[in-house]
């Protein structure tokens, strides 16, 4: 049996390259989703019930990215969330998640009528016979709508979904911060490795790196490895614009819940029961408005491009030079004063 070597975000670093960029303002981090929509910041928020409803969709849209409103509600409620976000800011693009069975066509139709620009077929294992039927029926029912699909982990799966009509594909299985898929099923691939592999596709379909992105450094690595966009949950969790109550915990500190959509807690909320969870629910410190988070994200990505001497994401992909880092280097790459003095 052959064992393939794989790489995670923390296994690699980008080599700093000659740069003539004089300020981060000279760096363009925009990325085209399709002929109609270009995001000025290549970041998409996850369709999770503790990440994206109308307030997150409006805020990330204003910052240049896009939100995907989760599907853990009725089609009518979801369409109302779309309309409410559009009411908050008419100029921002917005996506909606649907499942692969049941009410997905009605859901997609209602949300597109309410103004959604993207329909995201949101399933854990997208390389599936039902996905083919689902993509084809949505293409027939709502011609011209952007179809995002996933999740996949391999080039073979990416190419299959692309050939079935997906316009963009979420790449990453088992890497999410709240995910227990690899522990429960033994399956998955490091998200960075999946992005590297899927970047060899000959399809024009856009690549969205999804799951396990912890820092803007990881975002830059994903974009350099071939992703057109990154999708994040935990990096936005705990902010004011996420759905959910703020509660006061230990030492009077404020917290919010962040949970996997396959966690027992999320399943119980939406289905009234839970079967074999593949995610966990946790609390994260409350962080106030997400606006500053987006400023730091955009600033970090711009800075990342300038270290590679790249003025655009396309230039970054062309110039990027990765090295593998040792475990000693991984320690050095962190802010080691913080643990050295403990
Ligand atoms: P994070 O940015 O590392 O927190 O990962 C967010 C991503 O995890 C989402 O965009 C989904 O792809 C994935 N995800 C969400 N809920 C679950 C779950 O319950 N189990 C496994 N993966 C999940």
- What is the DSSP annotation of 307-318? HTT-SSHHHHHH
What is the predicted pLDDT for the residue at 96? 98
Q: What is the mean pLDDT of residues 271-295?
A: 97
How far does residue 46's CA lie from ligand 1's centre (Å)? 8
State how far the Cα of 322 lies from the Cα of 325, in Å rounded to an integer: 9
- Candidates 50, 52, 181, 191; catalytic one: 181
Split at pLDDT 50, 70, 90, the class of 317 is very high
The residue from 111, 179, 191, 239 that is catalytic is 179
Q: What does pTM read for this prediction?
A: 0.98
Number of other residues whose CB lies within 10 A of the CB of residue 3: 5
Percent share of the chain, pLDDT over 90? 93
176-187 pLDDT tens trace: 999 999 999 999
Q: Is 111 among the catalytic positions?
A: no
129-141 and 104-114 helices, crossing angle to 10°: 40
For range 105-132, the mean pLDDT: 97
> Is pLDDT at 255 greater than 80 in this prediction?
yes
Q: What is the pLDDT of residue 339?
A: 80
Helices (H), 96-202: 104-114, 129-141, 155-163, 181-185, 191-198
For the chain, how long is the longest CA-to-CA vector? 61
Exposed/middle/buried for residue 279 (C-beta within 10 Å: 0-12, 13-18, 19+): buried
Structure tokens at 43: 């970041």
Tens digit of each residue's pLDDT (9 = 90 or more) over 55-84 = 999 999 999 999 999 999 999 999 999 999
Question: Cα(309)–Cα(330) distance, rounded to whole angstroms?
Answer: 23
CA-based nearest residue to 21, from 327, 324, 332, 306: 306
pLDDT at 217 over 90: yes
Query: Does residue 38 have an active-site annotation?
Result: no
Is residue 160 very low, low, confident or very high in pLDDT (cuts 50, 70, 90)? very high
**pLDDT value of position 88:** 77
What is the average pLDDT value for the chain, to the nearest integer? 96
* Confidence at residue 90, expressed as pLDDT on a 0 to 100 scale: 80
CA atoms of 5 and 119, how far apart (whole Å): 35
pLDDT at 338: 86
Helix (H) or strand (E) holding 84: helix 75-88
Report whether 211 contacts 204 (CB < 8 A): no
Q: How far apart are CA 148 and CA 155, in angstroms?
A: 16
The rounded distance, in Å, linking the Cα atoms of 220 and 230 is 9
Nearest 5°: the CA angle 26, 32, 34 is 165
Residues 6 or more apart whose CB falls under 8 angstroms from that of 25 comprise none
Res. 135 pLDDT band, cuts 50 70 90: very high
Pocket of ligand 1 (CB under 6 A): 46, 48, 151, 176-179, 181, 210-213, 231-234, 260-263, 278-279
CA proximity to 232, closest of 178, 270, 277, 196: 178
Query: Which pLDDT does position 251 carry in this prediction?
Result: 87
Q: For residue 87, is pLDDT > 90?
A: no
Parallel, antiparallel, or unpaired: how do β-strands 94-98 and 66-69 relate? parallel
Contact (CB, 8 A) for 50 and 235: no
Distance 39 CA to ligand 1 centre (A): 22
pLDDT at residue number 41: 98
252 CA distance to ligand 1 middle (Å) = 29
What's the mean pLDDT in 280-303?
98
Q: Name the least confident of 50-64, 87-101, 152-166, 229-243.
A: 87-101
């Amino acid at each position: 049996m052959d064992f393939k070597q794989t790489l995670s975000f923390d296994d690699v670093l980008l080599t700093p390259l000659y740069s003539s960029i004089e300020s981060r303002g000279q760096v363009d981090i925009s990325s085209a989703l399709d002929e109609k929509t270009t995001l000025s910041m290549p970041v998409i928020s996850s369709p999770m019930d503790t990440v994206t409803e109308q307030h997150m969709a409006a805020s990330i849209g204003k910052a240049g990215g896009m939100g995907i409103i989760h599907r853990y509600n009725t089609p009518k409620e979801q369409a109302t969330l779309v309309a409410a976000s559009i009411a908050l800011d008419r100029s921002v693009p917005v996506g909606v998640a649907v499942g692969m069975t049941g009410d997905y066509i009605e859901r997609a139709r209602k949300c597109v009528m309410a103004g959604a620009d993207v329909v995201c077929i949101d399933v854990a294992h997208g390389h599936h016979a039902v996905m083919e039927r689902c993509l084809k029926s949505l293409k027939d029912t709502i011609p011209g709508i952007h179809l995002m699909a996933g999740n996949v982990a391999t080039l073979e799966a990416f190419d299959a979904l692309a050939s079935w009509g997906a316009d963009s594909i979420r790449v990453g299985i088992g890497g999410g911060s709240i995910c227990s898929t690899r522990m429960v099923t033994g399956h998955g691939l490091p998200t960075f490795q999946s992005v590297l592999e899927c970047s060899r596709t000959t399809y024009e379909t856009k690549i969205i790196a999804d799951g396990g992105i912890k820092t803007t450094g990881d975002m830059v690595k994903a974009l350099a490895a071939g992703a057109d966009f990154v999708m994040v949950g935990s990096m936005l969790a705990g902010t004011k614009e996420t759905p959910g109550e703020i509660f006061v915990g230990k030492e009077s500190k404020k917290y919010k819940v962040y949970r996997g959509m396959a966690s027992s807690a999320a399943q119980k909320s939406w289905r009234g029961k839970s079967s074999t969870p593949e995610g966990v629910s946790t609390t994260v410190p409350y962080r106030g408005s997400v606006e500053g988070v987006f400023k730091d994200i955009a600033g970090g990505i711009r800075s990342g491009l300038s270290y590679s001497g790249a003025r655009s994401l396309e230039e970054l992909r062309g110039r990027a030079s990765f090295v593998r880092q040792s475990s000693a280097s991984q320690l050095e790459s962190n802010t080691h004063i913080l643990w050295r003095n403990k």
